[in-house]
Amino acid sequence: MGSATHRRDLLVDTGLALLIGSAAFFLYLRTLAPGLLQGDSGEFQVLAYLLGTTHNTGYPIYLLLAHPFTWLPVESVAYGVNLFSAVMAALTVVALFIAVRLLTHRRGPALVGAAALAVSSTLWSQALIAEVYTAAAFFLAIILAMVMAWRATGQWIYLFLAALLGGLSLGVHMTVALAAPAILLYLLLTARDRIAWSAAMSGALIGLILYLAAFFILDWRAPTANFLDAGIRPSRSVWGLSEEDLNNPLTRYWFTVSGRQFQDRMFQIDTLPRNIFRYVDGMGAEFHPISLLLAGIGLIWLGLRARKELALLGLALLCQWIYTFTYNIWDLHVFFIPAYVLLAILVAAGAAAIEEWITRLLARPPALRPAMSTLLTLLFLVVAVWPILSPRWDDVTRGRVPRFAFDGYPVDHANMTGLHNSVTATVRQMPENAILFAHWPELYPLYYAAHVEGDRLDLTFLEQKPYREGDADENSTLQYVEDRIHSHPIYFADCLPELRAAGYRCESERLGTSLYQRVRPATNAER
């Protein structure tokens, strides 16, 4: 009898997890960005196909997971990588359902928490474009689900898998690792035998080894579009790097994984008030006030019923806040996603608390409790989830990318189509073996047109002005130009003052629909 009940419960849970995951995937698929994107998204679309390391921190596991989506018989490689983000977001919703089901032992609240996360603005926005953040959210959610499964069953395999995924997550996004102190504390509070600790340590070690192997394999492949070559090598003097430094795999690894480009923006205490305000101000687009009220109730309920789990979630949330609130970066909103995953669990815990109290008070006959739970779940979905979803429901029915209030988010279908046509026209008119120094938004779309869709492997694209800490002369860029000016046509998006000061002259030249500056040695008279 017990075995039959367990099988039935497992079947129901599986069905509900698939239901909420499929519903989320439907939202994302209907509103998915249709093709090539600018900036970081374009970089991921190119390097998921070519397999080379990206900007800090490299993201090798993300690229390897996204790579099979470039094989899909869909309209383009770019669309396939966008689709990977949608799949990861839907799987995040499924993993959150599982984690909450194991934490609260209630299905309805698990559905509410998963649905609240699914329609939150930032997760939804990242589910539609080629980016790492939904994959990171999935890793965090599934790690928490595995930890809860270990706690519920005592089976070490779940702890091993959680630790394995934790090690691998370093190659997805480093913010997942911010949960490590909380999980370590949880193990100190709950793990009573050596098997659990051995499983956790061995899983983490294997995951770390696999992550390092993935990084160095992609680093060894080093296609021309590899970020260190396209974005760092020409401007290496900005960071005090020599050619020999960048030829050293360990130096390349440390430059990438340490976030050298952005270290000056990390742990800036003076940004704390502004970032907290930004976080609180944007919360209304993520969760309805009723959901936030549920999160507060869930906090209290876990404090009364599951203090160790509250310590896990609370410390994980605190670590996320400390990092993101002191990070001075332009796209900070995407770094809030792990905190939203944790808040969604608290939302579900609050729904579980209310369900428990109401069913005890009103559903005296035990037979009425399932019906009462179902009604409460529907009520929460209507009053707390639908108000966040409804403003974008027209976009879902029309199958178009919604508008999100984030700077630089690619929401305009015409602009995305125009980008693809523009870079394709540029690539077609570039002379043989040309080198083009482009701005970051267009850098990887150009690579996409030349190296992914086209047969122009002779073309090289470099970032004209990569982000750096402070101001510095780019002597290495000038040296790069000097070494190649007589053997390669060289173009810049803008004629830099450093070029003129070094004796070069710039001639405007149209390539496709865009105007670039052809760099030529100055004549003796000009010198």
| pLDDT tens-digit readout, 5-31 | 778 888 998 999 999 999 999 999 999
More confident residue, 523 or 447: 447
In-domain check, residue 497 = yes
Is 100 contained in some domain?
yes
The DSSP output letter for 229 is: I
Give, in order, the Cα–Cα distances in Å from 448 to each of 52, 62, 451, 461, 467. 13, 18, 6, 11, 22
The answer to the question of residue 399 being in a domain is: no
Residues in the chain: 527
**What was the pLDDT predicted at 413?**
61
**β-bridge pairing 460-463 and 435-438:** parallel
In terms of domains, do 375 and 431 share one? no
346 within some domain:
yes
Q: How far apart are CA 118 and CA 110, in angstroms?
A: 12
pLDDT of residue 412: 63
Same domain, 382 and 473: no
Q: Tell whether 374 and 482 lie within a shared domain.
A: no
Q: For residue 153, is it within any domain?
A: yes
With vertex at residue 448, the alpha carbon angle to CA 445 and CA 454, rounded to the nearest 5 degrees, is 135
Q: Which three-class secondary structure state does DSSP give residue 504?
A: strand
pLDDT at 482: 92
- CB contact set of 357 (below 8 Å; sequence gap of 6+): none
Of the candidates 359, 393, 427, which is a domain's last residue? 393
Q: Are residues 339 and 433 in the same domain?
A: no
Query: 303 pLDDT exceeds 70?
Result: yes
pTM of the model: 0.95
234, 474, 509, 515, 526 from 503: Cα distances, Å:
19, 15, 19, 22, 8
Q: Which residue, 358, 393, 428, sits at the end of a domain?
A: 393
Q: Are residues 436 and 510 in the same domain?
A: yes
Q: Do 386 and 441 belong to one domain?
A: no
384 and 430 belong to one structural domain = no
Are the beta carbons of 370 and 102 closer than 8 angstroms? no
Q: How many domains does the chain have?
A: 2
**Are 6 and 65 found together in one domain?**
yes
Residues 451 and 353 in one domain: no
Tell me the residue range of the domain where 451 lies.
Answer: 413-521
294 and 201 both lie in a single domain: yes
Q: Specify the DSSP class assigned to residue 283.
A: G
Q: Is the pLDDT of residue 474 over 90?
A: no
Q: Are residue 174 and residue 284 in the same domain, yes or no?
A: yes
pLDDT digits (tens, 9 = 90+) for 66-117: 999 999 999 999 999 999 999 999 999 999 999 999 999 999 999 999 999 9
Q: Indicate whether 262 belongs to any domain.
A: no
| Whether residue 483 sits in one domain with residue 336 | no
Identify the pLDDT of residue 487.
94
Q: What is the CA angle 353-18-108, rounded to 5? A: 15
Largest CA distance in the chain: 99
Strands (E) in 53-203, as ranges, are none
Provide mean pLDDT across the span 216-239.
Answer: 92
Q: Where are the alpha helices (DSSP H) in 191-271?
A: 194-221, 227, 243-246, 249-257
- Nearest of 180, 47, 30, 125 to residue 337 by alpha carbon: 125
260 part of a folded domain = no
- If pLDDT is split at 50, 70 and 90, which confidence band does 174 have? very high
Asked if residue 251 belongs to a domain, the reply is no
